[in-house]
Amino acid sequence: MARGGRSSGILVFNAGSSSIKFALFDDAFRRGLSGLADAIGGDGRLNVGGNERAARFAHHANALDAILEELDHHGIRLDTLAGVAHRVVHGGRALTKTCRLTAKAIAEIEACVPLAPLHNPHNLALIRAVSDAAPDLPQYASFDTAFHASNPEVALRYAIPEKEDGKGIRRYGFHGISFAGLTRQLPEITGHPLPARLLAFHLGNGVSLCAIRDGCSVATTMGYSPLDGLTMGTRAGSIDGNAVLRLASDYGIEEAARLLNRESGLRGLGGHSDMRALHAAKTPEAAFAIRHFCYWATRHAGSMMAAMGGLDALAFTGGIGENDAAIRAAIMDGMAWTGLVARRAGDTEEGPRLHQPDSSVEAWIVPADEETTIARDAAALIASLPAADPA
């Protein structure tokens, strides 16, 4: 992986609207030093290797400076790395696989800002800050939308005039890096090849399903934006377009957008965006929110199964998917008609397998690990590219 005297380390950045996560990987993809700069723009914190301190970051470049200073204290400098790799939320139609960040690729990410105004600008800010700090350091990007580029055109097009599709108003899907990592990890967990028809549940504050046929996405529940699909922590999920127009008429576009993205979903139904808080609340509203979440996950699962012509296995990932046994059980109960026989309540067996030996459909837990997926994708690209940087 190393070139030109550089080490084999890859530093992965995952920039959010108010945070930067990072993790360092060696050439065996072992995770080294990692951490988080949080609450950018206000009173935040910097956590590096488990050591946390209060910090205030005016913007992403300030947060990066603080991270790089901490890395330097640990003997890690950008100019010794093989590369830096980024999670970028939206790659649009053009960026459908991991790429080296050239001027052209950065321009394409910039062109996608209208499609992801809350995400891509922060990704770009970090990319440019790294470039300022280490101009000769190769940078790479993996895209949350890329895994779903294999969806058939009939799945990607909305039934709107072609000129509107030409503006980029079409389905893209998200959580693609998570789903790509799941397809790599599941055979390692099971010791068997990837099931031909795999239904993946990414359940967290953001929620989506993906129908994976022969390792490729053929359908997913999120669409033009991460708002579409299932009930989420604060997002409404699927809602009739005319209802959106009514909300925009009543409150204005900005307030309607805030309501649908920030005040809906579990929060709107049950008063809490966190599933753990809903379980603890034990109110009728909280119980309804949990039922709503599970109902729509199960209902959308049927659509995903139709897209791939059946079901051989399902896999849960994300914070809720990995840790909430009650939610998994409710969803699997709703899918018993598929031949899925889940492990019984009170079963003392531990581990990632969730199905009984006589089940015709397998069910597994797969830990989410986007950073390792990004590092692996960048390493594969480094190995395949010539040493010279394209213009």
Among the ranges given (129-138, 157-166, 327-336), the one the predictor scored with the smallest mean pLDDT: 129-138
pLDDT tens for 340-387 read 999 976 665 678 999 999 999 999 999 999 999 999 999 999 998 776
Give every CB contact of residue 53 below 8 A, 6+ residues apart in sequence: 45, 46
Instruction: Check residue 347 and give its pLDDT.
Output: 62
Out of 27, 38, 144, 358, the active site residue is 144
End-to-end alpha-carbon separation of the chain, Å?
A: 21
In this structure, what is the dihedral angle of CA atoms 167, 173, 174, 176, given to the nearest 10 degrees?
-120
pTM higher than 0.85, yes or no? yes
Active site residue 144: yes
Same fold, 10-143 and 192-369: yes
Nearest-Å Rg of the Cα atoms of the chain is 21
Question: pLDDT tier at 40 (50, 70, 90 boundaries)?
Answer: confident
pLDDT tens for 289-343 read 999 999 999 999 999 999 999 999 999 999 999 999 999 999 999 999 999 999 9
Question: pLDDT tier at 390 (50, 70, 90 boundaries)?
Answer: very low
Q: Tally the residues of the chain.
A: 391
Instruction: Check residue 194 and give its pLDDT.
Output: 98
Question: pLDDT tier at 217 (50, 70, 90 boundaries)?
Answer: very high
Give every CB contact of residue 204 below 8 A, 6+ residues apart in sequence: 233, 318, 319, 320, 321, 368
Instruction: Check residue 387 and give its pLDDT.
Output: 60
Instruction: Check residue 124 and give its pLDDT.
Output: 94
Which DSSP state fits 37? E
Q: What strands lie across the sheet with 99-100, from one edge to the other?
A: 51-56, 43-48, 31-38, 20-25, 10-15, 83-88, 139-143, 99-100
User: Do the Cβ atoms of 89 and 174 come closer than 8 Å?
Assistant: yes
Question: Which superfamily does CATH assign the domain made up of 192-369 to?
Answer: ATPase, nucleotide binding domain (3.30.420.40)
- Give strand pairing partners of 141: 86, 99
pLDDT tens for 82-106 read 999 999 999 999 999 999 999 999 9
Q: Any idea where the domains of the chain sit in the sequence? A: 10-143, 192-369
Q: How far apart are CA 274 and CA 323, in angstroms?
A: 13
Residue 22's nearest CA partner among 7, 2, 38 is 38
Would you say residue 25 has pLDDT above 90? yes
Instruction: Check residue 60 and give its pLDDT.
Output: 85
The CATH code that applies to domain 10-143 is 3.30.420.40
Question: pLDDT tier at 261 (50, 70, 90 boundaries)?
Answer: very high
* Amino acid in position 188: E
Q: Which residue has the higher pLDDT, 206 or 350?
A: 206
Please state the rounded mean pLDDT for residues 11-23. 90
161 phi, psi to nearest 5 deg: -55, 150
Please state the rounded mean pLDDT for residues 134-159. 97
Among the ranges given (39-48, 201-210, 248-257), the one the predictor scored with the smallest mean pLDDT: 39-48
Give every CB contact of residue 93 below 8 A, 6+ residues apart in sequence: 168
Would you say residue 15 has pLDDT above 90? no
pLDDT tens for 226-237 read 999 999 999 999
